[in-house]
Structure 1
Amino acid sequence: MNFVNSDLDKNNTFVRPAYFIISGFSGIQNIKYYYVFLFLLFIVSVLGNTLVMVIICLDHTLRTPKYIVVFNLAFTDLFGSSALVPKVLDIFLFDHPYIPYNDCFTFLFFYYICLSMQALNLVALSYDRMIAIIFPLHYHVKVTHRFMFTLIASFWLFAFTITVIAVSLLTRHSYCNSVVINSYFCDYGQIYRLACDDRTPSFIFSALLTVLILGLPLVFIVFTYLYIGFALSKVATVHERVKAFKTCIAHLSLVAIFFFPLLIVATLTGGMHPNARIVNLSLTSAFPPSLNPIIYVLQTKEIKESVKKLFKIRRQSKIAVRI
């Protein structure tokens, strides 16, 4: 089978593969059980994030700037899981490792735009918590619906722009050495390393992506909580500090679930077996979308009360029908 289509240039030969081969999870015993686990995480993610979105839509009291971000996070998690997990299961569980050239970059585009938005949504929530705790009297002036819609829209535009740049850089490469991607998806870093021409621009942009998607959001979130802690230590009693930080538990849990596994994998990459790295990275992609809605339903007072209210209304309507 011919796997490359070549377009001749005046000075060199540009090689564009017809397809790439995704080779992750190879050589791991009993890996099919892991695929079942990924499928279960996907089901939890779809049901949980759909539930959160429906609750926010149905309960008018949740249509606040904060829950605009929560809704967007649930949508991003649902969109990201739907773009990633079914394709991963199709590739490995049903043995379809060949992915067409254009499909691979489409896969990469949706994965990275969702990854970017997951981090940026956490930034928006940290800003919301900082203003709510430190400037409670000015919260409704500083954090309005218009402000939050504008912020979320700018985040989507930013995520779209950097992802388009990333994909466009990859399409400029010539792939004449190998078409085997040693990952569980069309990974930006793994793809540009297959190029046989100058990879410097893609390498630089890969480092820039890490800073923009992971580094700066995490630094901003850490700064906001340090600022919150410092401000509360000056003016609040111990009881007031505990009460204030209780409102941040759900958000801090989301931050820990999203960032810590990625930091661990990034720190231990040098001494980690390739298969262990692939499994850990796949878990960091599948776990947050499935756990985020559970955390918000269980740890957020407003959503718990909304769920109780909706069930109460449904129960009362059933009783009324019987009567």
Structure 2
Amino acid sequence: MIGKNQTVISEFVLLGLPIDPEQRDLFYALFLVMYVTTIVGNLLIIILIRLDSHLHTPMYLFLSNLSFSDLCFSSVTMPKLLQNMQSQVPSIPYAGCLTQIYFFLFFGDLGSFLLVAMAYDRYVAICFPLHYTTIMSPKLCLSLVVLSWVLTMFHAMLHTLLMAGLWFCADNTIPHFFCDMSALLKLACSDTQVNELVIFIMGGLFLIIPFLLIIMSYAQIVSSILKVPSARGIRKACSTCGSHLSVVSLFYGTVIGLYLCPSTNNSTVKETVMAVMYTVVTPMLNPFIYSLRNRDMKGALGRVFCRMKITFFV
């Protein structure tokens, strides 16, 4: 009998993406460009919000944290994916796998909580415009951000510690491009009932409840607009909420489609494609959505460039 020794398997083999060998270089270049775009785009948003005083508002406090979360969320999986695409042995150490799980959950949950805070901000701005500055005080905004960081830290640590309590003694091949918890649980030699129960309970708290809160916020916004219908009010709502709704649709659409609506034939290819959507594509598109659909961001970019030109010529 094999003892419960967690070091029986010292590393895991990541099968990566279902790509033909002759197309590997093409996809490597594509994912490299996407990752660089994600880093540059989100850093640009953070820098613009930091430099332009017009953006020192609650909405952009949440947005800067969301951009940082997206930047880190993509960095949890993308560098290892790019490295393994060029490696003959696409492996990851046991400790590295647990570390990846922790930060994957941490920044994924953080982005979800920040989307809720942004939805609440839009709800207050449209439904209670005269009381906006009073309700969305600096103290409340800071509290929402700190609470998001603390809760996600606790959630990620809980799952990581439970995963560390499992032991693996046979197959070490993960049919994914990162250490996904569901894939690891299938490889465990020990009992995983506690892990699965915690995933079920915490998944509802950290995914379903935030999603419902966002839906409720926008239901109230739509109800408020319909009470006093006007072209100006509709335009204002679309301009302030359109970008946020786009991000929410991309993020929750892919996550819910993957984890709450699994395919009947348990298609690994489908799961991998959905995972690429919310780990790679969504963090890359967020900067474009917020910059191209947002007048404040465009104005901030213009003002920063003007100051740079003046400084350069002076």
Normalising by the smaller structure, the TM-score range is: over 0.9
CA contact (8 A) 2:239 2:294 kept: no
Is 1:316 the counterpart of 2:310? The answer is yes
Is 1:66 the counterpart of 2:71? The answer is no
Q: Quick one: which of 7, 16, 22 aligns to 1:24?
A: 16
Is 1:300 the counterpart of 2:294? The answer is yes
Moved more, 128-137 or 228-237: 228-237
Q: Quick one: which of 139, 144, 152 aligns to 1:159?
A: 152
Q: Deviations over 1:231-288 (max 9, x none)?
A: 2212343442332232111101111121222233342522363123213312321011
Tell me the distance in 2 between the aligned counterparts of 1:254 and 1:55: 19
- Secondary structure (helix, strand or coil) at the match of 1:34 reads helix
Which stretches of structure 1, 4 residues or longer, exceed 6 Å deviation after superposition?
none
**1:43 maps to what in 2?**
36
Kindly provide the amino acid, as one letter, of the partner of residue 288 in structure 1: T
CA contact (8 A) 1:80 1:115 kept: yes
**2:205 maps to what in 1?**
212
Q: Deviations over 1:103-129 (max 9, x none)?
A: 110111111111111111111100000
Residue correspondences, number: 311
Tell me the distance in 2 between the aligned counterparts of 1:23 and 1:106: 19
CA contact (8 A) 1:188 1:206 kept: no
Matches within 5 A, 1:182-261: 182-261=175-254
**1:289 maps to what in 2?**
283
Kindly provide the amino acid, as one letter, of the partner of residue 5 in structure 2: F
CA contact (8 A) 1:69 1:121 kept: yes
**1:3 maps to what in 2?**
none
Kindly provide the amino acid, as one letter, of the partner of residue 296 in structure 1: Y
CA contact (8 A) 1:90 1:96 kept: no
CA contact (8 A) 1:184 1:282 kept: no
Tell me the distance in 2 between the aligned counterparts of 1:65 and 1:85: 30
Tell me the distance in 2 between the aligned counterparts of 1:51 and 1:129: 23
- Give the drift of 1:100: 1.2
Kindly provide the amino acid, as one letter, of the partner of residue 198 in structure 2: F
TM-score where L is the length of structure 1: 0.90
Gap regions ≥5 residues in structure 2:
none
- Secondary structure (helix, strand or coil) at the match of 2:263 reads helix
Q: Quick one: which of 109, 122, 127 aligns to 1:129?
A: 122
Tell me the distance in 1 between the aligned counterparts of 2:157 and 2:47: 31
- Give the drift of 1:206: 2.0
Kindly provide the amino acid, as one letter, of the partner of residue 120 in structure 2: Y
- Give the drift of 1:212: 3.0
Moved more, 181-190 or 269-278: 269-278
**Structure of higher CA gyration radius:** 1
CA contact (8 A) 2:16 2:84 kept: no
CA contact (8 A) 2:6 2:167 kept: yes
Coordinate RMSD, CA, aligned: 2.0
Tell me the distance in 2 between the aligned counterparts of 1:34 and 1:272: 24
Kindly provide the amino acid, as one letter, of the partner of residue 216 in structure 1: I
Tell me the distance in 2 between the aligned counterparts of 1:175 and 1:202: 15
Classify 1:311/1:13 alpha carbon distance in 2 versus 1 (closer, same or farther; 3 Å). closer
Q: Percent of aligned positions with the same letter in both sequences?
A: 27
Q: Quick one: which of 79, 85, 107 aligns to 1:114?
A: 107
Tell me the distance in 1 between the aligned counterparts of 2:153 and 2:81: 23
Of structures 1 and 2, the one with the larger relative CO (CA 8 A, separation 6+) is 2
- Give the drift of 1:26: 4.7
- Secondary structure (helix, strand or coil) at the match of 1:160 reads helix
**1:171 maps to what in 2?**
164
Matches within 5 A, 1:133-152: 133-152=126-145
Moved more, 266-275 or 76-85: 266-275
Kindly provide the amino acid, as one letter, of the partner of residue 281 in structure 1: A
Classify 1:150/1:133 alpha carbon distance in 2 versus 1 (closer, same or farther; 3 Å). same
Tell me the distance in 1 between the aligned counterparts of 2:223 and 2:168: 52
Gap regions ≥5 residues in structure 1:
1-5
**2:264 maps to what in 1?**
270
Kindly provide the amino acid, as one letter, of the partner of residue 4 in structure 2: T
